[in-house]
């Protein structure tokens, strides 16, 4: 049974719209697959937990090591880590070339990088992501901090997440995880939320403190499809599916009204 030109035309329309929706959904997933720091924004002077989310972008190899670098020009006076089962964490402490003063604290030595290395048999596999936490503060009073990251795969390949986002806002291929810093809340600047924090803000001269992870509550590496905190990929996916569904409804209605279609038999007299 041959189809009419109108039917063929609508079939092409349905195919085009469906492929476009699929491409939008797939594109949203690719754009989201970057190393990020969460939350993306904190207030100056705060002590905060920073979660580095590391997606595995390889389809054939697993991620076996990640290193995050803390800039020496804007260090944290205190840094501690949260242990991850199956991974060994190694902080690097550095004597700063020039002491840095943040508020009432002068920092001479700081944790300048933290590396997590997978134990044998452990990795972030294809289609999975891992999360690695540090607790740090006080947050320097600067517009932002970029934590460059190095991601090592089981096949020996290395990806450097170190590209700054240009003024145009166009995202580079391997953007550095960047923390935006807002102004301290009124009455909060210079104040802390724990005995450890108080020691940081009242000391006139301090070095970065690293708390060994032994006995710290572990965080489990999550094995799941890559997700990001941004809602943009989800919105794009939902809109794409709505467009596709709408197209199918319009096409179905048009096909029911196509010329030459079956007609209802006359009613029996």
Say yes or no: 134 and 245 in one domain: no
Q: What is the pLDDT of residue 33?
A: 77
Say yes or no: 53 and 143 in one domain: yes
Rounded average pLDDT over 86-115: 93
| Residue of higher predicted confidence among 79 and 229 | 79
Q: Structure tokens of 37?
A: 């720091």
Say yes or no: 106 and 236 in one domain: no
Nearest to 81 by CA among 109, 120, 117, 107: 117
Say yes or no: 58 and 162 in one domain: yes
User: Does residue 226 belong to any structural domain of this protein?
Assistant: no
User: Does residue 223 belong to any structural domain of this protein?
Assistant: no
Say yes or no: 171 and 67 in one domain: yes
User: Does residue 216 belong to any structural domain of this protein?
Assistant: no
Say how many domains are in the chain.
2
Q: Is 233 exposed, middle or buried (0-12, 13-18, 19+ CB in 10 A)?
A: buried
User: Does residue 261 belong to any structural domain of this protein?
Assistant: no
Say yes or no: 12 and 95 in one domain: no
User: Does residue 217 belong to any structural domain of this protein?
Assistant: no
Task: Give Cβ neighbours of residue 268 (< 8 Å, ≥ 6 apart).
Answer: none
- For the ranges 131-140, 173-182, 197-206, the lowest mean pLDDT is seen at 197-206
Nearest to 188 by CA among 35, 38, 44: 44
User: Does residue 267 belong to any structural domain of this protein?
Assistant: no
Q: In this predicted model, what pLDDT tens digit does every residue of 180-232 receive, in sequence order? A: 999 876 655 444 443 444 333 333 344 444 443 333 333 333 333 233 334 44
Q: What is the pLDDT of residue 7?
A: 58
What pTM was computed for the model?
0.62
- What integer best gives the mean pLDDT of the chain? 74
What are the backbone dihedrals phi and psi of residue 51, each rounded to the nearest 5 degrees, phi first?
-110, 120
Q: What is the pLDDT of residue 104?
A: 82
The sheet carrying 158-161 orders its strands as 87-102, 105-118, 63-69, 149-153, 158-161
Residue 83 confidence (pLDDT) above 70: yes
Residue 110 confidence (pLDDT) above 80: yes
Say yes or no: 151 and 239 in one domain: no
How are the residues of the chain apportioned to helix, strand and coil, as percentages rounded to the nearest 5?
A: 25, 35, 45
Q: What is the pLDDT of residue 43?
A: 95
Say yes or no: 58 and 186 in one domain: yes
Rounded average pLDDT over 226-247: 50
Say yes or no: 43 and 85 in one domain: yes
Say yes or no: 115 and 240 in one domain: no
Residue 259 confidence (pLDDT) above 60: no
User: Does residue 109 belong to any structural domain of this protein?
Assistant: yes
Say yes or no: 15 and 38 in one domain: no
Q: In this predicted model, what pLDDT tens digit does every residue of 48-72 receive, in sequence order? A: 999 999 999 999 999 999 999 999 9
Domain, as residue range, for 51: 34-211
Q: Structure tokens of 142?
A: 């600067």
Say yes or no: 19 and 89 in one domain: no
- Whichever domain contains 205, its CATH number is 2.60.40.2230
Q: CA dihedral defined by 246, 247, 250, 256, rounded to 10 degrees?
A: -130
Greatest alpha-carbon pair distance for the chain in Å reads 104
Residue 1 confidence (pLDDT) above 50: yes
| Residue of higher predicted confidence among 8 and 266 | 8
Nearest to 129 by CA among 62, 57, 55, 59: 55
User: Does residue 183 belong to any structural domain of this protein?
Assistant: yes
């Amino acid at each position: 049974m041959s189809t009419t030109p109108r039917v063929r035309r609508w079939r092409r329309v349905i195919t085009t719209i469906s492929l476009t929706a699929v491409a939008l959904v797939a594109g949203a997933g690719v754009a989201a697959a970057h190393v990020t720091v969460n939350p993306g924004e904190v207030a100056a002077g705060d002590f905060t937990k920073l979660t580095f989310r590391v997606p595995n972008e390889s389809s054939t190899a697993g991620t076996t090591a990640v290193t995050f670098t803390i800039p020496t020009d804007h260090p944290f006076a205190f840094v501690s880590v949260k242990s991850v089962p199956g991974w060994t964490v190694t902080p690097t402490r550095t004597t700063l070339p020039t002491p840095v003063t943040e508020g009432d604290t002068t920092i001479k030595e700081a944790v300048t990088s933290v590396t997590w290395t997978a134990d044998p048999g452990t990795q972030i596999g294809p289609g999975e992501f891992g999360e690695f936490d540090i607790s740090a503060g006080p947050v320097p009073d600067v517009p932002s901090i970029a934590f460059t990251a190095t991601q090592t795969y089981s096949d020996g390949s290395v990806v450097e997440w170190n590209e700054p986002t240009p003024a145009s806002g166009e995202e580079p291929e391997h953007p550095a995880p960047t923390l935006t810093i807002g102004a301290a809340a009124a009455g909060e600047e210079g104040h802390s939320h724990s005995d450890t924090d108080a020691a940081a803000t009242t000391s006139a001269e301090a070095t970065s403190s690293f708390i060994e992870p032994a006995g710290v509550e572990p965080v489990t590496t999550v094995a799941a499809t890559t997700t990001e905190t941004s809602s943009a990929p989800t919105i794009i996916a939902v809109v794409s599916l709505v467009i596709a569904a709408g197209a199918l409804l319009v096409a179905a209605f048009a096909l029911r009204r196509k010329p030459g279609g079956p007609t209802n038999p006359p009613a029996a007299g």
